[in-house]
Amino acid sequence: MSGLSVLDPATEEVIAELPSAGVEELDAAVARARARFPAWSQVAPSDRARLLRAIGTAIEIGAEELAQSECRNAGKPIRDARDEVALVAELFHYYAGAVDKVGGRTIPVDGGVAMTFPEPLGVVGLITPWNFPLAIASWKLAPALACGNTVVLKPAELTPLTALMLERLALEAGLPEGVLNVVVGPGRVVGQRLAEHPDVARIGFTGSTVVGRGVMAAAAGTIKRVTLELGGKSANVVFADADLEQAAAQAPGAIFGNAGQDCCARSRILVERPAFERFLELFVAATEAYVVGDPCDEGTQMGPLISAGQRERVASYVPEQVTYAKPLPDRPGFWFPPTILTPASATDRVVRDEIFGPVAAVLPFDDEEGAVRLANDTPYGLSGSVWTKDGARALRMARALECGALSINSNTSLRVSTPFGGFKQSGFGRELGLAAMKENTELKTVFYSTTP
């Protein structure tokens, strides 16, 4: 195996050296998962639930260590890292509860009884990104295990540490060896092999639309089930009748949170023309107050970008003239300032492309129809927000916007118990909530003749 250096993006220092797996190690992990599948899928529901609950409790006990590691490796503010670890523990408790609540149906038919059984798939391959390393791995893993599948998890090369910690915690909590197999290695080698592997039944992928397209093609060879959660260019639509103070106060968190490296980032802020100048003034003031700095400091709201490459990519989008860019201290690390742009045209590339950095484009619109047109004018469709005090309009907008997770008078996108996923090129399939149980099972229909 070759080696992999893991960096702290806030200091550019190496914080871990790991072996990097290749195809051989990946194949061995799939073989272990496959060998374990029959036994794991037959574990009694109450025992499987107990194990998932034990993993949730182990995460609660190890929460601070996990949060500190995520903070250092992903450059994530410690308070956000703690919130994400709390969500991860909740996920395991939630899916522990789901084990004995999701079942099939009996269907009235002639001459007997028809029943359906949601059956586990077998080996599930999970490929995860670096922006929410532990949270995304966990919301794919917990339902896969709850349904009786075994798992090979390939975390992003930049942020493998918490996935390895999770594997250890799960083993210590009693998960049998081979049920969860974490493989750290390059995506284009081990990720690709996982997507192609004949013994893998399903791929759960979160990452870029380009790689997602390749994963879907690789999975086609063996007709794998695929769930894709890809990019986004979500709209934050603010009507003039909204509580502008609140909408503006929450707007920085919605685009500069996680340094903008969030598939749900509200990177296009669309404001009804009469409120445009006032909103912009409030948004700039709220951005001035947004705390950028050492991710380990309790008060920090935004840390660095994940890598030098990501910083270069983000910088390539930002023109010389900006509406506002928050000054940053000069220090090592992959820093990029929270930046506000007011592009003249909706066809500008900063309005169209997923930048995946702390860059907001603010644009005016004239009426409800114009807001819908502008918001939907993107190949993506993941998330979004609508701010208005007019309830009927809020619901009209909610139905008209092409996205998988919309918030009204809020910028949140994600809850353990609610389905999450994209429209259009943001992907397909749903994660979280009970919807994730469907993705991880196959429906079998059994007819039992009662004809004497």
**Cα separation of 159 and 82, whole Å?**
16
208 is a contact residue toward ligand TXE (CB under 6 A): yes
The residue (of 197 and 326) whose beta carbon lies closer to ligand TXE is 197
Q: Per CB under 6 A, does 191 bind ligand TXE?
A: yes
Q: Whole-number minimum distance, CB 7 to ligand TXE, in Å? A: 14
At closest approach, how far in Å is the CB of 322 from ligand TXE?
20
Q: Which is closer to ligand TXE, CB of 74 or CB of 271? A: 74
385 forms beta bridges with 236, 407
Rule CB under 6 A: say whether 192 interacts with ligand TXE.
Answer: yes
Should residue 267 be labelled a site residue for ligand TXE when binding is judged by CB under 6 A?
Answer: no
What is the smallest separation between the CB atom of 355 and ligand TXE, expressed in angstroms?
Answer: 7
CB atoms within 10 A of CB 135: 20
Distance in angstroms (rounded) separating the CA atoms of residues 382 and 388:
20
Are the CB atoms for 340 and 323 separated by under 8 Å? yes
Q: Segment near ligand TXE (CB under 6 A), from 22-30, 63-71, 151-159, 284-292?
A: 151-159
> Do residues 40 and 156 make contact, with C-beta atoms less than 8 angstroms apart?
no
Angle ∠(119,175,435) on CA atoms, nearest 5: 40
Pairing of strands 441-449, 112-120: antiparallel
Task: Compute, in degrees rounded to 10, the torsion defined by CA atoms 27, 29, 34, 36.
Answer: 160
Q: How does DSSP classify residue 323? A: S
- Tell which one of 8, 354, 402, 439 touches ligand TXE (CB under 6 A): 354
Question: At 9, is the secondary structure helix, strand, or coil?
Answer: coil
Member of 156, 226, 371, 432 binding ligand TXE (CB under 6 A): 156
Binding ligand TXE (rule: CB under 6 A), the pick from 29, 51, 127, 255 is: 127
| 317 binds ligand TXE per the rule CB under 6 A | no
CA terminus-to-terminus distance, the chain = 63
Active-site residue numbers?
Answer: 229, 263
CB of 257 to ligand TXE, least distance (A): 13
* Cα–Cα distance measured from residue 177 to residue 164, given in angstroms and rounded to the nearest whole number: 14
Query: How many residues are present in the chain?
Result: 452
Asked if 84 interacts with ligand TXE (CB under 6 A), we say no
Stretch that binds ligand TXE, among 75-83, 123-131, 170-178, 336-344 (CB under 6 A): 123-131
Q: What is the Cα–Cα distance from 44 to 63, expressed in whole angstroms?
A: 28
Kindly state the smallest distance separating residue 125's Cβ from ligand TXE, in Å.
Answer: 9
Could you say which residues in the range 214-233 bind ligand TXE, by CB under 6 A?
214-215, 229-231
Binding status of residue 349 toward ligand TXE by CB under 6 A: no
CB 98, min distance to ligand TXE, A: 24
Distances (CA, A) of 99 to 41, 104, 145, 274, 417: 12, 12, 9, 52, 14
Should residue 263 be labelled a site residue for ligand TXE when binding is judged by CB under 6 A?
A: yes
157 binds ligand TXE (CB under 6 A): yes
- Minimum Å gap between C-beta 425 and ligand TXE is 11
Q: Confirm or reject binding of residue 356 to ligand TXE (CB under 6 A).
A: yes
CB atoms within 10 A of CB 276: 19
Nearest residue (CB) to ligand TXE, 154 versus 326? 154
Taking residues 270 to 309 in sequence order and writing x for each that binds ligand TXE by CB under 6 A, - otherwise, the string is ----------------------------------------
- Residues within window 422-441 making contact with ligand TXE, judged by CB under 6 A: none
Rounded Cα distance between 295 and 10, Å, is: 7
Residue with tokens 């490929």: 127
Q: Calculate ∠ Cα 103-108-114, nearest 5°.
A: 55
* Positions in the binding site for ligand TXE (CB under 6 A): 127-131, 154, 156-157, 187-188, 191-192, 195, 206-208, 211, 214-215, 229-231, 263, 354, 356
